Each structure stands twice: as C-alpha cells, then as structure tokens.
Amino acid sequence: MNGDRTDPVKSVKPGEPVTPVESGEPVAPVAGGDDVDEILAGIGPRLRALRRDRGLTLEALAETTGISVSTLSRLESGKRRPTLELLIPLARTHRVALDQLVAAPATGDPRLHLKPQHRERGNVLVPLTQYPGRVQVFKQVLAHREPKLVTHAGYEWLYVLAGGLRLILGEREFTLRPGEVAEFDTGEPHWFGPVDANAVEILHLFGPHGDQAVVRTGSARQAP
C-alpha cells in the first residue's frame, strides 16, 4: 500500500481474489472445509457424552432446554446440523463454555490441546500437568452439589478464576471470590464448591505427599 491511506477501499479487477483491507490487525485463519466437517462431526458425540455423564435422559434435557426430544436425538446422532440457537441453551444447561461443545481438532501435542474430563453432575476437570508423584495442577469447573467433608493425605492450594467458592475446613467456613487463594492440609476434614447454584471455576494444585505450593525468594542456601 502507498503512504496515503485516506481511502481504505481497493479496486478489484474481475476474477481477482478479494483480500482483507490492511488495517494493522491480524486476520484469523479460516478453517478449511475438511476442518469444519471434522468439528461439526464431533459435536454430536460430545453432547451425548455430556448428557450421559450428568445422568440425564433426552426427555429431561428437552424439558430443561425447550428443545424437542427428536431434535436432541438428531443432534447427538449427527443427523441435525448444530446451530448457535441450539448449542447456547445446551451449553447453559450442561454448565460448560460454548467452545467446549465446538472444539477445534487436536493439535497432536497434549501440552497445547488439553483434554477436559467430564465428571458427574456437570463437573469438568482439566489436567494441566502429568507428573506422577509430584504436585498436580488442574483447572476445574464445579457445579452445585451438597457439602460432604472428606479427609485424605496431601496438601491443596485453590485459586478462584470465576464465580464464588465456598470452602469448609472442619468447623470453619470461608467464601472466596475471583483472585482469592486458599491453601490447607487435606488431613483436616474439608469440602469446597460453588457458593450458590452457579458454577465456580478454579485452579487447583494438589500435593499428594503433603507438598506445598510455596514460592521461595532470595539466594538459595548452599548445602554444607
């Protein structure tokens, strides 16, 4: 382009491909036809897995979302093309992000393409590390559930990303908001989950042998 950018419109000759105007902003690549087909083909099985993980029948899901049983069945089998009008209420009901229903193809590198593990009642666990015996890091989306205190060996560190987290430690109870942190020994009876009916999103560090997520600063002490 020349130095004069007063006119952002470029003339195009017949048969010449049209390219985006150079505005200085990056243009996102457009998925090819094969990629789009692959993405669409994966939505149905993903919807079926979410519904079954939550123990819902098609009839129960239809009542919650307002989508007919036949349409839900065709979506899950791939016989109905998914649209935003259908996917948005399904994402809300399953308490997952829309991009979890419309997932991109795998990159081939597990460090770049993390695989969520869908648990019962709409809970989602995304392992961020895979180092057995060391501190494990997870991203979790927790749906509403009744408190049930547990104890086990280890040490936990929780960081709230979105929503409100209710934490019970023995006889004490805390409410954490986005940006707040809690850490505790899991040998003490404990439970954590959403403060209300809305899901909460957290980062979760767990040391199976009591390892603590401690940041040390300053010069390292040399061994004698």
The pLDDT value recorded for residue 33 is: 52
Q: Are 86 and 155 contained in the same domain?
A: no
What CATH number has the domain bearing residue 136? 2.60.120.10
Mean pLDDT of 179-199: 91
Residue 74 lies in domain: 33-101
Look at residue 217 and tell me if it is in a domain: no
The pLDDT value recorded for residue 124 is: 82
Q: Are 146 and 76 contained in the same domain?
A: no
Q: Are 93 and 136 contained in the same domain?
A: no
Closest CA relative to residue 96, chosen from 73, 119, 62: 119
What CATH number has the domain bearing residue 69? 1.10.260.40
Q: Are 132 and 97 contained in the same domain?
A: no
Look at residue 141 and tell me if it is in a domain: yes
Look at residue 22 and tell me if it is in a domain: no
Separation between Cα atoms, residue 117 and residue 115, nearest integer Å: 6
Q: Which of 125-129, 166-170, 184-188 has the lowest mean pLDDT?
A: 125-129
Separation between Cα atoms, residue 183 and residue 206, nearest integer Å: 10
Q: Are 97 and 127 contained in the same domain?
A: no
Mean pLDDT of 190-203: 91
Look at residue 6 and tell me if it is in a domain: no
Separation between Cα atoms, residue 149 and residue 192, nearest integer Å: 9
> Does 67 have pLDDT greater than 50?
yes
For the segment 12-32, what is each residue's pLDDT rounded down to a tens digit?
A: 444 444 434 333 333 344 444
**How high is the mean pLDDT of the chain?**
74
